[in-house]
Structure 1
Amino acid sequence: MPDTASAQVPTLSLADQARDPAAFAQAFGRSFQRFGFAIVADHGVPQDLIGRAWQQTEALFALPEEEKRAYHVPGAGGARGYTPFKTEIAKDAKHVDLKEFWHVGRELPEGHRFAGDMPGNIWPDRPEGFRDTFVDLFAAFDRAGDRLLSAIALYLGLDEHWFDPAVKDGNSVLRLLHYPPIPADAEGVRAGAHEDINLITLLLGAEEAGLELLDRDSGEWLAIKPPEGAMVVNVGDMLQRLTNHVLPSTTHRVVNPPVERRGHSRYSMPFFLHPAPDFLIETLPGCVSAENPDRYPTPITAHDYLHERLVEIGLIKK
């Protein structure tokens, strides 16, 4: 069976943004408009921090099942803490995903106005140093995400700081993902075909391959193979809705490995960058034209949109 063709997603350097913000914004935006994805090197997330996070992610998921499940909050939509294996399902999929995960959210001060919408983090007793590592990693992703949103704003003809108030204290989530070894006859795939909910996703890659995007032009599944150390970034449905599909949220999946690799775990760390719960997702006027009429005349808050989608993927029950 031949290998899946690779997507020709360009690799961009975030270091170029400081030298020429407009040129970086054009290159980044064009990649988003063509693929819904971009690959970003020199993203500024410290490599030693990333290395520590990988080690602690593996240690976390190696804990006994009973210990991990003590950090699961039934009915909370997986917002924080642990979500067990075979819980989440892609919209319209027949089989649940073959994965378990842990969510870290924003640390809010006591009495914050979003405390009712953004629950506090759940921290495990072990591995040691887990909290410090992932608070730091969340902040590093946040900084990189702000820079990428600035480029998107410029590409859309907006002020470079347009997204700043939208994502200040945003409901972003850092997901630690473990795809355990699977049998050759496993039903379903590691992550079924889906689109992300948020504005943009920043993904630190996995040693094990499997990430594929659905190319809109050809209808083919294409493998995404970023260079070592680079970050995969993709459009989420909130940004697609905000831009009236000028920037499309591309369907993607994580396929099962070849039989000879099914005894190996796969780990990844996506950062789902969300706006604040009260942000109104309202079509940008510059993204509406005679050729592209407004698909979403009725605005919706980020909080309500997120709730709708969590119901669809089985994390919240109706």
Structure 2
Amino acid sequence: MNKIPSVNLADFLSGDAKRKQKFIDEIGHAYENIGFVALKGHFLDQKLVDDLYTEVKNFFDLPLEVKQGYEIPGIGGQRGYVSFGKESAKGKKEGDLKEFWHFGQYVENDPKLAEEYPDNVEVKELAHFNEVGKEAYKMLEKTAKYVLRALSLHLALDENYFDGYIKNGNSILRPIHYPPIKTEPKEAVRAAAHGDINLITLLMGAQGKGLQVQNHQGDWIDAIAEPDELMINVGDMLSRHTNNKLKSTIHRVTNPPKELWGTSRYSIPFFMHPISQMKLDVLEGCIDKDHPKQFDDITAGDFLNERLRELGLIK
């Protein structure tokens, strides 16, 4: 594949069996072959998107000392602010050229889980930042639920297989700011080549050049969404769970050409995580004589902690 396929969630939600199956086949084929799709028909309306970008830009425009006041020690960057250059890709010592914020789950009716997750961080300086972030989180989570339902059917599982694992899951909404580049970076890029940790990632802000995906031939291809599309990719948890039938594809955010160094880039991924107790053991239906079991049994929580250590976010 040399381009990212486009699918429309409206087909899956249409009530028409043929359209629903068309969506299942298209997204299943894309995830088996390149691990990315551009998705129309999601639950984010344009006003919410515009409001979120406004609030995110307002936050990153705050003075550094104000932002650093929202950097919470001891939680591996799982909520609040993470300052520039703190995170690096697995196996890379140079920090990525970005700063970011984390909104986490808004737990409903589960005191034990509410205790497990860090609290969301309220930004006092911006009256609407937290409420707009919460609304976007909910709409992205809702979109992700239906994508996973389609993938369940593609994998010959019950349509609602993932529902209980993602309800109150450890998902993260991460507004990212890639600041203007002031001096020639020696080795660092805006986001070094990496695979995502989670089940699936829903990305807002892939409308301009920068995001690149590595296809199975090892070529880097531009992943550019239409204005009304989210870019959605498979993460390592889902890849493990399906014995790599669904592909978690390596991707990166390149530095812009020199004439655009003075510009900021914003992108907003939503990392769909399950509850930490979910077993990522390889599904029986994804194992056969041509595809022996590739991965050891592990829970989502243990896998996440392993990867956060590799990224330098927890010790």
Range of TM-score over shorter length: over 0.9
5 Å matches for 1:175-190? 175-187=174-186, 188-190=188-190
5 Å matches for 1:229-240? 229-240=228-239
Q: How far apart, in 1, do the equivalents of 2:281 and 2:108 lie?
A: 29
Q: Which residue is equivalent to 1:316?
A: 314
Bigger drift between 110-119 and 96-105 goes to 110-119
Bigger drift between 19-28 and 97-106 goes to 19-28
Q: Which residue is equivalent to 1:53?
A: 52
Q: In the superposition, relative to structure 1, how do residues 112 and 7 fare at CA in structure 2: closer, same or farther (>3 Å)?
A: farther
Q: In the superposition, relative to structure 1, how do residues 199 and 243 fare at CA in structure 2: closer, same or farther (>3 Å)?
A: same
User: How many residues of Structure 1 are paired with residues of Structure 2 in the alignment?
Assistant: 310
Letter of the 2:195 partner, please give it. Answer: E
Q: Which residue is equivalent to 1:11?
A: 6
Q: How far apart, in 1, do the equivalents of 2:238 and 2:88 lie?
A: 22
Q: 1:110: Cα distance to partner?
A: 8.2
5 Å matches for 1:6-85? 7-19=2-14, 20-85=19-84
Q: How far apart, in 1, do the equivalents of 2:301 and 2:116 lie?
A: 8
Q: How far apart, in 1, do the equivalents of 2:183 and 2:228 lie?
A: 30
Q: 1:95: Cα distance to partner?
A: 1.2
Please say if residues 12 and 24 of structure 2, whose CA atoms lie closer than 8 Å, have aligned partners that are also in contact: yes
Q: How far apart, in 1, do the equivalents of 2:171 and 2:57 lie?
A: 22
Letter of the 1:160 partner, please give it. Answer: E
Q: Which residue is equivalent to 1:191?
A: 191
Q: Which residue is equivalent to 1:213?
A: 213
What TM-score do the two structures reach when normalised by structure 1?
0.94
Q: How far apart, in 1, do the equivalents of 2:24 and 2:109 lie?
A: 37
Q: How far apart, in 2, do the equivalents of 1:147 and 1:69 lie?
A: 36
Q: 1:265: Cα distance to partner?
A: 0.3
| Per-residue Cα deviation, 1:150-199 (whole angstroms, up to 9, x for no partner) | 01001111111111111111000000100000135113100000000000
5 Å matches for 1:1-318? 7-19=2-14, 20-108=19-107, 112-187=111-186, 188-206=188-206, 208-216=208-216, 218-296=217-295, 298-317=296-315
Please say if residues 211 and 223 of structure 1, whose CA atoms lie closer than 8 Å, have aligned partners that are also in contact: yes
Q: 1:281: Cα distance to partner?
A: 1.0
Letter of the 1:121 partner, please give it. Answer: N
Q: Which runs of 4+ in 1 moved over 4 A?
A: none
Please say if residues 207 and 224 of structure 2, whose CA atoms lie closer than 8 Å, have aligned partners that are also in contact: no
Please say if residues 203 and 269 of structure 1, whose CA atoms lie closer than 8 Å, have aligned partners that are also in contact: yes
Q: How far apart, in 2, do the equivalents of 1:174 and 1:103 lie?
A: 6
Letter of the 1:219 partner, please give it. Answer: G
Q: 1:84: Cα distance to partner?
A: 0.2
Please say if residues 87 and 95 of structure 2, whose CA atoms lie closer than 8 Å, have aligned partners that are also in contact: yes
Q: How far apart, in 1, do the equivalents of 2:109 and 2:166 lie?
A: 19
Structure 2 SS opposite 1:40: strand
Structure 2 SS opposite 1:213: strand
Letter of the 1:201 partner, please give it. Answer: T
Letter of the 1:8 partner, please give it. Answer: K
Please say if residues 184 and 259 of structure 1, whose CA atoms lie closer than 8 Å, have aligned partners that are also in contact: no
Q: How far apart, in 2, do the equivalents of 1:235 and 1:114 lie?
A: 25
Tell me, which stretches of 5 or more residues in structure 2 are unaligned?
none
Tell me, which stretches of 5 or more residues in structure 1 are unaligned?
1-5
Please say if residues 37 and 233 of structure 1, whose CA atoms lie closer than 8 Å, have aligned partners that are also in contact: yes
Letter of the 1:168 partner, please give it. Answer: K
Please say if residues 200 and 271 of structure 2, whose CA atoms lie closer than 8 Å, have aligned partners that are also in contact: yes
Please say if residues 7 and 224 of structure 1, whose CA atoms lie closer than 8 Å, have aligned partners that are also in contact: no
Structure 2 SS opposite 1:105: coil
Q: 1:13: Cα distance to partner?
A: 0.9
Report the identity percentage.
41
What TM-score do the two structures reach when normalised by structure 2?
0.95
Q: How far apart, in 1, do the equivalents of 2:84 and 2:183 lie?
A: 17
